[in-house]
Amino acid sequence: MQQIVEGLIAMFFLMIFLITGIDLIKVEVDCCNAGEFRNAVVMAMENSEFDESVIRDCFNKAEQNGYDMAAIFHYLDGTTATVSQGSTYVKSKTILLAEIKLTYPLRVPILGSTVFKKTEAITC
């Protein structure tokens, strides 16, 4: 009888560890997806030479994925302009580089909580 009880307790703990492990893997996948999206945005902006339609498309895709994105454009004359979700962007000067700031939610189902993380990148 004692072995049955010990076996049930062991199975209970194994299930808890399994569920927790799956949740941690999901969190890691969400982090990787946000990082890959950030890198794709940087590549798209660099390859299009900061084209307005490409930048607007990047903001639309960020919104579809549930991310909050902001871009800080540094112009050749030393000025900067910040563009965030919902604001309009018109390319008026030559852009030297851009800072991409992406905020994304991390949801842990077993805890029922959501934490917002931020990742940043700079274009060349």
Cβ neighbours of 98 (radius 10 Å): 22
> Which domain covers residue 40, as residue numbers?
2-122
Percentage of the chain surpassing pLDDT 90? 53
C-alpha span between 4 and 67 (Å, rounded)? 49
pLDDT value at 90 more than 80: no
37's CB contacts (< 8 A; 6+ apart) are 61, 62, 65, 67, 102
* Domains: count for the chain: 1
Report field, pTM of the whole predicted structure over 0.85: no
